[in-house]
Structure 1
Amino acid sequence: IFEKSIYDHNFCDEWVEPSTLNSLIKSISRFTPEYVSKRCDVDQGAIIEAALMFANGKKGGAGTGTGPSMAPHSSLTEHLIICLNVICGRYNREGDLVESGNFLYPDSPRLAQVIPAKDPTPGPPSRFRNLRGYRGQMPCSTLADEILEPGEGQIRALIVSGGNPVVAFPDQELTMSALKDLDLLVVLDHRMTATAELADYIFAPRLALERADVPHLMDRWFAAPYTNYTDAVVEAESELIAEWEFFWEIACRMNTPIALSGGELPLDHKPTDDEVIDLVYSEARMPMDQIRENRGIIHAGKEYVVQPADPGCTSKFNLMPDGIQVEIDQVFAEVTGAELWPGFNPAIHTFRLISRRLKDVLNSLGTELPKIAARSTTNYAYMSPDDMKDLKISDDDLIDISSPRSTITGVAKADKTLRRGIVSMAHSWGGTSLTDEKVRDIGTPTSRLTSAREAIDPINGMVVSSAIPVQVQLTKEFSTN
């Protein structure tokens, strides 16, 4: 894109710090199509075609997701994707419409300008690996050590609301050791998860039809100015509680107010779902009473229209902030990103295990439903048929998949759409067993292959959970169906 000078010169002249643009061009110039093609084993012509297709398009942004965001150098990947969008000017301009209404969030006019930079790590420091919290949340890759390591700040009690750390958190062996070491583990979930098996207390929550609710997450993603509100339509059984009720009950007993944008939750009486919603969304762009009165409709004409930039705006994109140059140099010096792993042996770890999404199951949610379980009870280890033939592996054979950290046993399945050298598996399956004797019934957690102490992204603490270097071999003691 730079060599052919097809980036958005006008946008960059107005909104990009020139010295950082020049530094980016210089830094990435060594990553030629020839170099990238050889290192990634991707056709050089296809790389160029994709780049030209993107740069010559009028609209359309690039984004990351589960795969690249879980692979080595995830922060750098995210940054370079942002740079790609910047140099091609893939930002809303004055007069553009923003599809989603963002009705549940505070009114925030969209301006055609760069938002001034803020400290990206304002959160409290972790005791480990020089990591910090982000936007009120701490990196889960340090949680096990925060539990196990004595000293000021050691975590002794943990509340898990709807999550399943045993199979979802990195480094399953370390995670389980930490959870078992806690003085108190409380789980709020509607099913007996692997994490719930280790809990001291389990609370069953009210589910979607049993509570009033709004689409908090989706409100920003709707492809039209839409939001909604729903009443509870099914009366919950007496012992079921909403998640907020659990925290309210604890707050009452501790006489500790819970502050929300609309004020504190009352402690002198139990609020209703609607009272809680009103306090949470007190600053919503569309007041909650209007949302309740106008359910299930698209609010035509309520889209955000991008406004002109403030005349005094001087903020510009910095394409080469601190640390980026160092990591780009590191990538260029590598033969493969797998070198981040201590113990990586290119002669042994010849495969890469990549993440996979399934249509019927989201993380560890869904396998408890009989109709979904009838379709599949395991997270298959998908491989190229050619690789399976070379290794004398057949469909439904058990295979051992070993990273520098640990080993899982998977059920092999051919996928002709996969390139050679790849194992593709969905994450967050399995249970508390570390030996996978029930792999055909409940699957296996790929998180066991990861390390929470090594191969860590230095900025966000992300554990390498995709493109994991692994060895694949037929399970000797279970080589047949």
Structure 2
Amino acid sequence: MSQPHFRTCNLCEAMCGVAITTGLDLDGETPIVTSIKGDDADPFSRGHVCAKTIGLKSLHEDPDRLRYPLKRVGGEWQEISWDQAFDEVEQGIRRVQREHGHHAMAFYAGNPTVHNLGATLFAAPLMSALHSRNKFSATSVDQLPHMLAALQMFGHQLMLPIPDIDNTDFMLMLGANPAASNGSLMSAGDPMGRLKKITERGGRLIVLDPRRTETAKCFEHQFIKPAGDVYFLAAFLNVLFTDNVVSLGELKGRVTGLEVLKAAVAAFEPEDVEAATGISADWIRRTAHEFAAAERAVCYGRMGVCTQPWGGVSAWLVNAINVVTGNVDAPGGAMFTHPAVDLVGLTSSSPALRGSFNRYRSRVRGLPEFNGELPVAVMAEEMLTPGQGQIRGLITHAGNPVLSTPNGRQLEEALGGLDFMVSIDFYLNETTRHAHIILPPTGPLEHGHYDLLFNTIAVRNVAKYSPALMEPAENTRHDWQILLELTERLSANTPMEKAVWKRVRQVVDRLNGPEGILDLMLQSGPYGHRAGNALHGVSSTLLTLLEKLPPARKLARQFRQLQLATPASGKAIGLSVAMLKANPHGLDLGPMEPGLRQRICTPDGKVLLAPHIYLPELERARQEMPQGGKAKKGEMLLIGRRHIRSNNSWLHNSLPLVKGKNRCTVMVNPADAAALKVQEGEELRVTSRVGDIVIPVELCEDIMPGVISIPHGFGHHREGTQLSIAEGRAGVSMNDITDEQWLDSLSGTAALNGIPVKVSLANPPAKVKRVRKVKVERV
């Protein structure tokens, strides 16, 4: 057995430290993982891990995982060489753009992209090389409303306020379930352990959710109707203003729009929102006063807040509550991480890099872009609707949008009609089966890892680098190598550009790819030192070269700003990759500290409390506020749910993570089940505007009457995939009935919760014909 290898589990946002030992298989030839345990010496997670960590072993050893390029020929797949694959991908992309224009090629980045250092660094240049407006990602089925609120209120899309859960006295949590998700936009090794300490030290944690989730069962819980968050939050603010318990604390004099916000929520009396929220006015008033009176409090909302029809305005109101109670940039409130690689500081001097909104709109429906991406809810219609600018080709990276975006059946139809599609993915799944070429990257244990983005939203400042554990198979490619190769092929069109790219390759090789770039970022960051060595000279050469190439100019500007960055006073410790390798358990760089004054990116340096984009949306929400009334028989509201052993669709081919009781069920309150005359285990047909699914019933008193819950990421019954474990536990896809027209109209984020559906027995008992009685005369 090998000595333990210490690394960060990169399967979710928690950044838990693991200790992995390896050995050889029964043949004594192939290295395998023999154990995965929590790393007790990791300063962030302190030995905590969840069941998902076994997925690192499953992904590495999965016989279904692809290693070499595949080409679809008719209905069959043929393994081809990397040279042939890259040649055909280049030809396919150029053909589509030559015949239909640059915007005819689209790009979709799935959730795992940001869990991969190399992909995070090298995906953006490839997107730029396409010169297309049609870029999409999992952002618009996830956290986009929070990023939009950060951009509008603090001037930067990554200025995301993070709950200081280690120090708070009162946490109000909406639409989040850290017991299943391990925390989101709140990276926290051992999140439930940290949350339980709130109550252990005498504090409170209240969960508002249409379901008494695994998290809610550990704390106080209040049912709230799906999509009712906006009304609760507005009424909560109304109480704070009306009862004069607003206090800006250290933000006094550094906020604009306070009176505008007060006027905007004036019409939301707690009594007025009872029907829309299912919460009594007394409870809202009492909780608002208790929150305002707490010494250190924080309001936190996640998926249930974002992915619903009022996601944009709800995310804004969450921030607003923290601001007006003096709990932004204050210990125990909502604070801002100061990570070793400071992406906010790196990009703050450039308006374009701070983020953008509504610079252009989608061709068919006119939905707004955010940070150069369009909402994924329009991707299928942009493929299916003829006309100039129609999407005719697609690149996907580490994504399965057929199962993870709304109206998956429509997207299946659209993908089947593309002229050319290439997928960078190591699975033949429900999406990649439509590709013409699949380019599989190495697995998560075969390359180095650093959480570039999740350290930006961590509840504590930490840094850890994980070198590769396993040697990649011969003639395989890392994500970054695939992305870089395609970027070069699409960018090197002239002799001069080809010469520049040859030099770029030499410099990237000298930097050892992502590891060298990370080293530059660490040394130039707040805990490093001003780079004045050979590495700095190499980076300057690289930047000069990259600035000559249009697709790479954005990346070059980012690094140029980083080169000029000055370390924060008192924090420089000479941090580098070498230092992190010498500290394999990771380094604790200290708690979050107030620093908004130095980091805010608004023009006047003040928090914009009432951005103009939200005010009409809040008024529209008021006008459309549900007034109660009995729902029609069989009409209910659909919400999703997560499980600790699941992560969207990409861990369903791991037997240890899917074995046991069927998790793909529809949760129904017993009272609703009685009205429907359905029993546990029987099947319900759930129907929306776009289609229907049939799914077994799970009776559950923990779900609000009038609401049903179905998990996300299943539906592995499609033909043509190579997922032997997942296919045996196929389930059905919730996103076969989510509606691409049902979204947050402000941000374009898909509304995957609060969807109105009809529910009925899938196999109703046959009606028994009544037999007419016949009078019989006695003889």
Q: TM-score range by the shorter chain?
A: 0.7 to 0.9
2:581 corresponds in structure 1 to: 292
The CA deviation at 1:157 is 2.0
2:514 is aligned, of 254, 276, 282, to 276
2:367 is aligned, of 131, 147, 151, to 131
More strand by share: 2
Q: Deviations over 1:344-373 (max 9, x none)?
A: x95366311112111110111222111222
Whether 1:167 and 2:403 are equivalent positions in the alignment is: yes
Whether 1:322 and 2:615 are equivalent positions in the alignment is: no
Whether 1:102 and 2:323 are equivalent positions in the alignment is: no
Please tell me whether the aligned partners of residues 377 and 440 of structure 1 are also in contact (alpha carbons under 8 angstroms): no
Distance in 2 between residues matched to 1:281 and 1:170, nearest whole Å: 39
1:51 is aligned, of 288, 291, 301, to 288
- Taking a change above 3 Å as real, the CA distance of residues 23 and 248 of structure 1, as seen in their structure-2 partners, is closer
The CA deviation at 1:418 is 1.1
Distance in 2 between residues matched to 1:357 and 1:315, nearest whole Å: 39
Please tell me whether the aligned partners of residues 408 and 736 of structure 2 are also in contact (alpha carbons under 8 angstroms): yes
Whether 1:14 and 2:253 are equivalent positions in the alignment is: yes
2:264 corresponds in structure 1 to: 27
- Taking a change above 3 Å as real, the CA distance of residues 301 and 364 of structure 1, as seen in their structure-2 partners, is closer
DSSP-derived class of the 1:2 partner: helix
The CA deviation at 1:271 is 3.4
- Taking a change above 3 Å as real, the CA distance of residues 362 and 88 of structure 1, as seen in their structure-2 partners, is same
Whether 1:67 and 2:357 are equivalent positions in the alignment is: no
2:178 corresponds in structure 1 to: none
- Scaled by the length of structure 2, the TM-score of the pair is 0.53
Please tell me whether the aligned partners of residues 104 and 281 of structure 1 are also in contact (alpha carbons under 8 angstroms): no
Q: Deviations over 1:217-270 (max 9, x none)?
A: 33224443321112211112235322112122323444549x9xxx99834698
Please tell me whether the aligned partners of residues 422 and 436 of structure 2 are also in contact (alpha carbons under 8 angstroms): yes
- Taking a change above 3 Å as real, the CA distance of residues 382 and 49 of structure 1, as seen in their structure-2 partners, is same
1:414 corresponds in structure 2 to: 699
2:441 is aligned, of 187, 205, 209, to 205
Alignment of 1:74-93 (within 5 A): 74-93=311-330
Please tell me whether the aligned partners of residues 105 and 281 of structure 1 are also in contact (alpha carbons under 8 angstroms): no
Distance in 1 between residues matched to 2:263 and 2:282, nearest whole Å: 23
The CA deviation at 1:146 is 2.2
1:142 is aligned, of 378, 399, 409, to 378
AA partner of residue 146 (structure 1): E
1:450 corresponds in structure 2 to: 738
Question: Which stretch of structure 1 is more off in the superposition, 122-131 or 171-180?
Answer: 122-131
DSSP-derived class of the 1:476 partner: coil
Whether 1:347 and 2:655 are equivalent positions in the alignment is: no
The CA deviation at 1:72 is 1.3
DSSP-derived class of the 1:133 partner: strand
Distance in 2 between residues matched to 1:375 and 1:265, nearest whole Å: 54
Please tell me whether the aligned partners of residues 421 and 434 of structure 2 are also in contact (alpha carbons under 8 angstroms): yes
- Of structures 1 and 2, the larger Rg is shown by 2
Aligned length: 455
The CA deviation at 1:317 is 3.4
Distance in 1 between residues matched to 2:426 and 2:656, nearest whole Å: 18
The CA deviation at 1:309 is 5.9
Distance in 2 between residues matched to 1:227 and 1:216, nearest whole Å: 9
Question: Which stretch of structure 1 is more off in the superposition, 281-290 or 389-398?
Answer: 281-290
- Taking a change above 3 Å as real, the CA distance of residues 149 and 55 of structure 1, as seen in their structure-2 partners, is same
Q: Deviations over 1:434-471 (max 9, x none)?
A: 9xxx999312222222222x233233211221011111
1:214 corresponds in structure 2 to: 450
Question: Which stretch of structure 1 is more off in the superposition, 350-359 or 272-281?
Answer: 272-281
Q: Deviations over 1:268-294 (max 9, x none)?
A: 698389423323663342443443344
1:236 is aligned, of 451, 454, 472, to 472
DSSP-derived class of the 1:396 partner: coil
Distance in 2 between residues matched to 1:47 and 1:237, nearest whole Å: 59
AA partner of residue 448 (structure 1): D
DSSP-derived class of the 1:235 partner: coil
Question: Which stretch of structure 1 is more off in the superposition, 20-29 or 264-273?
Answer: 264-273
Question: Which stretch of structure 1 is more off in the superposition, 360-369 or 50-59?
Answer: 50-59
Q: Deviations over 1:362-397 (max 9, x none)?
A: 111222111222124442111112211221212221
Question: Which stretch of structure 1 is more off in the superposition, 277-286 or 133-142?
Answer: 277-286
AA partner of residue 407 (structure 1): D
Alignment of 1:111-126 (within 5 A): 120-121=356-357, 123-126=359-362
More helix by share: 2
Distance in 2 between residues matched to 1:323 and 1:215, nearest whole Å: 32
Q: Deviations over 1:399-442 (max 9, x none)?
A: 111123321222210122111111112212113659xxx99931
1:341 corresponds in structure 2 to: none
- Taking a change above 3 Å as real, the CA distance of residues 45 and 179 of structure 1, as seen in their structure-2 partners, is same
Question: What CA RMSD, in Å, does the superposition of the two structures yield over aligned residues?
Answer: 3.6
AA partner of residue 247 (structure 2): D
Please tell me whether the aligned partners of residues 121 and 133 of structure 1 are also in contact (alpha carbons under 8 angstroms): yes
DSSP-derived class of the 2:242 partner: coil
Distance in 2 between residues matched to 1:363 and 1:305, nearest whole Å: 35
Whether 1:384 and 2:675 are equivalent positions in the alignment is: no
- Taking a change above 3 Å as real, the CA distance of residues 376 and 124 of structure 1, as seen in their structure-2 partners, is farther
Distance in 2 between residues matched to 1:459 and 1:81, nearest whole Å: 16
Please tell me whether the aligned partners of residues 408 and 735 of structure 2 are also in contact (alpha carbons under 8 angstroms): yes
- Taking a change above 3 Å as real, the CA distance of residues 2 and 362 of structure 1, as seen in their structure-2 partners, is same
DSSP-derived class of the 1:271 partner: helix
DSSP-derived class of the 1:321 partner: coil
DSSP-derived class of the 1:399 partner: strand
1:403 is aligned, of 674, 688, 691, to 688
DSSP-derived class of the 2:410 partner: helix
DSSP-derived class of the 1:225 partner: strand
Question: Which stretch of structure 1 is more off in the superposition, 352-361 or 85-94?
Answer: 85-94
Distance in 1 between residues matched to 2:502 and 2:515, nearest whole Å: 12
Unaligned runs of 5+ in 2: 1-239, 529-575, 720-725, 767-779
- Taking a change above 3 Å as real, the CA distance of residues 49 and 405 of structure 1, as seen in their structure-2 partners, is farther
1:153 corresponds in structure 2 to: 389
AA partner of residue 451 (structure 1): D
Distance in 1 between residues matched to 2:510 and 2:662, nearest whole Å: 39
- Taking a change above 3 Å as real, the CA distance of residues 231 and 156 of structure 1, as seen in their structure-2 partners, is same
Distance in 1 between residues matched to 2:653 and 2:419, nearest whole Å: 29
The CA deviation at 1:195 is 0.9
2:504 is aligned, of 266, 282, 287, to 266
Please tell me whether the aligned partners of residues 6 and 55 of structure 1 are also in contact (alpha carbons under 8 angstroms): yes
DSSP-derived class of the 1:63 partner: strand
1:332 corresponds in structure 2 to: 622
Please tell me whether the aligned partners of residues 306 and 315 of structure 2 are also in contact (alpha carbons under 8 angstroms): yes
Whether 1:371 and 2:656 are equivalent positions in the alignment is: yes
Please tell me whether the aligned partners of residues 353 and 466 of structure 1 are also in contact (alpha carbons under 8 angstroms): yes
Please tell me whether the aligned partners of residues 712 and 735 of structure 2 are also in contact (alpha carbons under 8 angstroms): yes
Distance in 2 between residues matched to 1:40 and 1:138, nearest whole Å: 31
Distance in 2 between residues matched to 1:457 and 1:337, nearest whole Å: 20
- Taking a change above 3 Å as real, the CA distance of residues 224 and 457 of structure 1, as seen in their structure-2 partners, is closer
Distance in 1 between residues matched to 2:633 and 2:710, nearest whole Å: 20
- Taking a change above 3 Å as real, the CA distance of residues 132 and 59 of structure 1, as seen in their structure-2 partners, is same
DSSP-derived class of the 1:104 partner: coil
AA partner of residue 230 (structure 1): S
The CA deviation at 1:9 is 5.0
- Scaled by the length of structure 1, the TM-score of the pair is 0.83
Whether 1:39 and 2:327 are equivalent positions in the alignment is: no
DSSP-derived class of the 2:274 partner: helix
Unaligned runs of 5+ in 1: 339-344
AA partner of residue 326 (structure 1): P
Distance in 2 between residues matched to 1:206 and 1:159, nearest whole Å: 18
